[in-house]
Amino acid sequence: MDALSEVLRVSGLAGAVLADATAGGNWCVAVPASATRAFAHVVLEGECSLKAGDAEAIALRTGDVAFLPHGESHLLATDLALAPTPFATLLRPPVAGELAPVTLGGSGRRTRWVTLAITADRHLAEPLLAALPAVTRASLRGTAPLAWLADSLGLTLSGTDAPRPGGTAALSRVAELVLIEALRRHVEGLPPGGTGWLAGLGDRHVGAALALVHGRPGEHWTVERLARQVGLSRSALADRFSLVVGEPIIGFLTRVRLQLAAHELATTGHAIEAVAKGAGYEAVNSFSRAFKRAFGKPPSKWRRGARRRR
């Protein structure tokens, strides 16, 4: 399995459709920041602009997906100078499991977009989220996931029809597939010669090493053993990994293991000694020092705070 799939698998990625909106004429919607979820907007018809923070506005057209991995506040509009409509006014509770579409704005050219809420364990998804720009745009025009989303939202009930069994769950899975396809296209469209985790996905040998580290982090990996697995010499893999990803391979492995340890501390009652061993540390003191450097607090104190937050 590739590294992107491994990170998506272990991070508990989940998607949901928040709104199916159609706007006419000139309009502006303000989406507030969220500390617990990311947002994605999928333009099914028409065009609009997205502006996050002080960055330049991004033009979105039919088939485009804009993903905001860090949940920043942003505007979605045809006219960014207008007084914005709060996004909360567009939300409607599902009726019998069916999402009710909403309309706003006036007459004129229409834009239809769908807003997705994306959640994941941020510690386990950190390699991906930290590598993405504030807004990731990709075109899904002509792709199966976009067609599935449009078809799922286009289904309506007659007066005598019952809600389709599993409709809400199916729509959530489609939302996740739309995001995964957008991420794939973003990675495939990166220019050659870049650095970082995303650039590593596109390198044959570094990508294979990343997949092994993310897929089997608890194994006693050494640079030599990883090199044998991916078909390079020890020195060649070490040099290639540092050049492409921007950090030594063992340092990267340590960071991945500490992120998994943080997830385990927050979600299980496992003893710190067991968590330390699973992260590759024989001595709890060594684990505690490394964990504090990474997360700012020793494991026991961090666990208490994480449980309160959850």
- Domain map of the chain by residue range? 3-188, 197-309
The two tokens of residue 45 are 């018809």
| Mean pLDDT of the residues in the chain | 88
Is it true that domain 197-309 has CATH number 1.10.10.60? yes
What pLDDT, on the 0 to 100 scale, is given for residue 260? 85
**Of 54 and 307, more confident:** 54
Contact by Cβ (8 Å): 259, 124? yes
Percentage of the chain modeled with pLDDT above 70? 93
Contact by Cβ (8 Å): 149, 63? no
Task: Please give the CATH number for the structural domain made up of 3-188.
Answer: 2.60.120.10
What pLDDT, on the 0 to 100 scale, is given for residue 263? 85
- Mean pLDDT lowest among 76-80, 173-177, 188-192, 248-252: 188-192
Angstrom distances, CA of residue 289 to CA of 218, 251, 296, 297 = 19, 15, 10, 9
Query: What integer is the mean pLDDT of 246-270?
Result: 89
**Of 169 and 145, more confident:** 145
Q: Which of 159, 132, 166, 141 is nearest to 43 (CA)?
A: 141
What pLDDT, on the 0 to 100 scale, is given for residue 12? 82
Report the chain's terminal Cα–Cα distance, integer Å: 30
243 pLDDT more than 90 = yes
The contacts of residue 165 (CB under 8 Å, 6+ apart) are none
| Neighbour tally for 98: CB within 10 Å | 17
Q: Is 3-188's fold the same as 197-309's?
A: no
What pLDDT, on the 0 to 100 scale, is given for residue 135? 95
**Of 101 and 99, more confident:** 101
What pLDDT, on the 0 to 100 scale, is given for residue 252? 92
